[in-house]
Homo-oligomer: A and B are copies of this chain.
Amino acid sequence: MNGRGANLLPAEPRAAIIGTGLMGGSVGLALKRDGWHVSGWDLDPDRRSLALELGVVDEIEEHPVADLTFVSVPVSSVPEIALAALERGGVVTDIGSVKAPVVAALHHPRFVGGHPMAGSEAVGVRGANPDLFSGAVWVLTPTESTDPEAQALVHSVVRSLGAEVLTLDAEQHDRLVATVSHVPHLMAAMLMGLAADRSVEHSALLRLAAGGFRDMTRIASGDPRMWLDICVDNRDAILGVLDEFADRLTDMRSLVEDGDSASLRDRLTLAQSARRSLPIGVPEVENLAEVAVPIPDRPGELAEVTALATSLSINVYDIEVVHSAEEQGGRLLLVVDAARASELAGVLRDSGRRVSVNDL
């Protein structure tokens, strides 16, 4: 365990994994390596015995009591499973790839929505890998209801799995993943389908398909099942992005039809420069600052501050709640991009709080 949330945990912390597939299994292996006791459960009896056999969990337990529970089941089942875990106590997070419906159904201070942006070609718990999240982005979607101490715990554990945390509003997350993941997947499938239909007539087509086409259709080779769920769970955001894409397609068609090379060059040059500036892996943030706010010991007020950062699209790189014996309440520490720290501090000062900013 590293990170600032570690002080919230007992000496022998207990985790629970509900849903022992590839993702849940990978979390289990990583936590066990870090000294956690891990209980696991899966609706499928074969899958849960396999998880025990492969050592991704220490024990099988249908109703585990844990300091931190990872709910790694299909998005549509998350609310029910997470509510049951919350009733048993501890902090609860999930790993679903769509967040707004989950967060909307779980207005609980001890629930923190999450989405690790990691995957593998492997399927099922046999593909579980404790390093799956190393260097990956892991989105957390705290709300105004979220207790910052719960957020700090999940944040710290996610960091200990090797991931970088990105804090986002749940609906914002869903729109963004529709743009960079869900709609691109559908487009790859459409493109491959179009080519496949033509290849019935012309077997030559597949011989012409060079690297660019292979790149653009690669993700279409994945298992369709998870995408069917995603299309249901993230329907509205996907429809919105599909509509935006259709507008761009109409625009592009007009430029080609009219031979408007100047506008076409603008579009392609913009795309070229955007693509070239796409970071490889997780970008390093060089300059961080710590924003400290003393707050009375009322969870609602603490949560207001963290929710404010999220709503301003200021990523929280680290979060800690420091309780002090000398003063009533405590201090909330948020580590953010130094370039955004004064903006956050200003808004907090405007709301009547005393704020200090320290460059790290």
Contacts and interface: CB of A to CB of B under 8 A. Distances in A.
A267 interface: yes
Given A181-B212, A185-B212, A216-B216, A190 B274 contact: no
B239 A190 contact: no
Interface residues of A, number: 95
B271 A220 contact: yes
Interface stretch (A48-56, A82-90, A276-284): A276-284
A352 interface: no
A195 interface: yes
Copies of this subunit = 2
A215 to B, nearest CB: 4
Contact of A275 (B198, B218, B250, B283): B218
B208 A137 contact: yes
A346 to B, nearest CB: 19
Contact of A193 (B220, B221, B253, B270): B270
Interface string A110-132: 00000001010000000000000
Contact of A268 (B220, B256, B276, B282): B220
Interface string A175-206: 11101110111111111111110110111111
Given A216-B219, A228-B261, A268-B189, A210 B246 contact: no
A166 to B, nearest CB: 6
**Interface SS majority for chain A:** helix
A189 B265 contact: no
Contacts of A193: 248, 267, 270-271, 274
A192 B274 contact: yes
B265 A224 contact: yes
Given A222-B272, A227-B268, 13 more contacts: A166-B207, A184-B213, A185-B212, A188-B216, A188-B271, A190-B267, A204-B315, A212-B219, A215-B215, A224-B265, A225-B265, A232-B259, A242-B253
The 7 closest A-B pairs by CB, nearest first: A224-B268, A196-B274, A189-B271, A192-B271, A212-B219, A221-B275, A220-B271
Interface of A: 117, 119, 137, 139, 164, 166, 168, 172, 175-177, 179-181, 183-196, 198-199, 201-210, 212-225, 227-228, 231-232, 235, 238-239, 241-246, 248-250, 252-253, 255-257, 259, 261, 264-265, 267-272, 274-279, 282-283, 313, 315
